[in-house]
Structure 1
């Protein structure tokens, strides 16, 4: 009766049984077969006893329950067509995709394999633990190793096996590592409104012409007041796809307010988009509405695509954004250590928290879905009131 229940439920409590059930289901799917098990009492079940063993053709399994030879468990994904791989990898963000492919390269190098086709899945726990220790001895951080395990788990789950990060020995090893070396405080600094004022003021000396100065004034102002990630603001490169950043056709100036659509973000990989409304701040040199209006007056109206473009029509890139920020801070006599493109977003959150806004309001400004923003706040005594992030 237990066998009947397991077959009809298509699930069991042991890995070995699940491996057999998976083989049965995949075989039946190939031939469009729907099956259901029925219990036959032993006293009348004489059909199976009359069959020779050669007819039964029972599949062989390894000690850990893996069936072989079977393309599903041994290099099966390596035979998938490129179109399918593009679809699967396209479900990941650019940075996550790079991280997972790097993890695959490192585990292949550790195993001494040349390709994914040579790897037998699932990887033994002992191999995974040895890989973790190898990475630690190389000086990799715990976060980096966690990312590697996530990448390995991705390719493991593609073949129907559980995530290696969820294995008990792996979880305990990573937890022990975390306790012996607790994470340090985020060292990135925030850009305050006063620093932003100084940056915009010195852009005339940093940039090559007035048009470039207006471009970066608009970029820096939007980055701060809209709490934008640099990936939402600027293009990844001068040439190539640039539809994920702010678009010219999604920018609307209506009286004393600016309505801007963010087409895609780190937490919006499907591109549902989000709208941001910014209001004019009379007399403020960093006002995003004023800076955007001034920039649009010199922007080529015939040039569609990204909102922030040079006079040549090429889009503002993330590298250029960070580089001009670095030059502006240097021009002001400030140290550039700790400042990055993300400092605008950190500054926006810190300013919002300093004004006494509720957590839900701060989350709406930065389009967060959780309290993760608290780690960005750079206010003394803030966590004593709100609690640790």
Structure 2
């Protein structure tokens, strides 16, 4: 993605940074060879080492003041590793789609992105998929801000076009309400009336509390289909349950060779404590390796079953099931964190979503 951005106008600093990075890699490889040569011919490669070291010294430096600091390329590289890997792939797809659209329409390459280009891109892409189009323009918004350019979505007309797309896709906040801590307390109480067995009650209590406090994606907790287990699904071996803490090692958010880790501590309110809920569930669960959340017959909980139990519990509480969805737990986590005054950096880290925070403008 950085290589694509480097070809754009007014991105010379990025192009020079990538070139310097390549020169450094070349210098390091040559340096390794010369160190071997120096063993046989001492002192023969000193002048070359000094010259190449000077080139490598320009690896990440930026001579002009930049909004990302003196080493903008290094900053961008770290930011690219900070979010969900699938999200960055979607952003890369969005950037590629926009560049193809711009070329096909004969529009000039320009940053900041002109308002008419964003509006045209929205209009054309919305003919195919509203949800994908929203992801694509979110990519343009985020990349613009990252590179020190104005947010193209701040334009009033563009903003109303985005609202229309959200309404069409059914993801406006008045369509799907967040499950707040207050709603979670009531849901856990309703499970005793909704679930048929004690095992199922413990299972869904663990699911609901972990979904809220861990801000987990639905695909990390339950299977999308009974016979197809997606790679991001959590397994028993991905869980480390300690006396006062529980740790999850996720599959779908890798940074280098390290897996994304979510750590949850004991809550001061035992009724909604995810550690206590998981401990009670794991005690009755089979210790055979497999998906973490399973029924007593060892079958994996599916997304359909998760939604069914959630909707029954909501209906029992007198709440409208149609106003809640699979993302309501995640949304409730972010909204609750905002209301409690947590720093923006902590919220984005928890939500694993680098471009927007619900409830903040």
The 1:147–1:287 alpha-carbon spacing in structure 2 relative to 1, beyond 3 Å, is: closer
Relative to 1, partners in 2 of residues 1:347 and 1:328: Cα closer, same or farther, differing over 3 Å?
A: same
Relative to 1, partners in 2 of residues 1:139 and 1:272: Cα closer, same or farther, differing over 3 Å? closer
The CA distance in 1 between the partners of 2:346 and 2:217, in whole Å, is 18
Shift of 1:180: 5.9
Number of residue-to-residue matches in the alignment: 247
One of 177, 187, 195 as aligned partner of 1:189: 177
Pick aligned residue for 1:284 from 267, 270, 273 = 270
Distance apart, 1:238 and its partner CA: 1.5
Instruction: Please give the residue correspondences for 1:51-90 in structure 2 after superposition, counting only pairs within 5 Å.
Output: none
Matched residues in 1 for 2:300 and 2:125: separation? Answer: 39
User: Among residues 341, 344, 347, which one is paired with 1:356 in the alignment?
Assistant: 341
Q: Is the aligned partner of 1:334 residue 2:314? A: no
- For residue 28 of structure 2, what is the aligned residue in structure 1? none
Q: Tell me if structure 2 keeps the 8 A contact 1:242–1:305.
A: no
Higher relative contact order (CA 8 A, sep 6+): 2
3-state SS in 2 of match to 1:278: strand
CA shift in 2, pair 1:144/1:296, >3 Å: closer
The match for 1:255 among 218, 243, 252 is 243
Residues 2-38 of structure 1: per-residue CA shift (max 9 Å, x gap): xxxxxxxxx9x9xxxxxxxxxxxxxxxxxxxxxxxxx
User: Which of 265, 270, 275 in structure 1 is aligned with 2:261?
Assistant: 275
Give a deviation string over 1:31-70, Cα, whole Å, max 9, x none: xxxxxxxxxxxxxxxxxxxxxxxxxxxxxxxxxxxxxxxx
Instruction: Give the gaps of 5 or more residues in structure 1.
Output: 1-10, 14-91, 105-121, 151-171, 378-387
Q: CA RMSD in A?
A: 4.3
1:222 match? 210
Which residue of 2 is the match for residue 72 of structure 1? none
Q: How far did 1:124 drift?
A: 5.0
> How far apart, in 2, do the equivalents of 1:258 and 1:149 lie?
37
Which one has the bigger helix percentage?
2
Q: Give, in whole Å, the separation in 2 of the partners of 1:135 and 1:259.
A: 40
* 2:197 corresponding residue in structure 1: 209
Q: How do residues 107-118 of structure 1 correspond to structure 2 at under 5 angstroms? A: none
1:248 CA displacement: 0.3
Give, in angstroms, the shift of residue 282 of structure 1: 4.4
Q: Go from structure 1 to structure 2 and tell me whether the alpha carbon gap of 1:179 and 1:227 turns closer, same or farther (over 3 Å shift).
A: closer
1:300 to 281, 286, 289: 286
2:215 aligned with 1:235, yes or no?
no
Instruction: Name the CA distance, whole Å, in 2 between partners of 1:241 and 1:328.
Output: 26
Q: 1:332 to 1:130 in 2, by over 3 A?
A: closer
SS in 2 for 1:273: strand
**Cα distance between partner residues in 2 of 1:308 and 1:239:** 15
Shift of the alpha carbon at 1:363?
A: 2.1
TM-score between both structures, scaled by the size of structure 1: 0.52
2:298 to 313, 320, 328: 313
Aligned-partner Cα distance in 2 for 1:338–1:269: 35
Larger Rg: 1
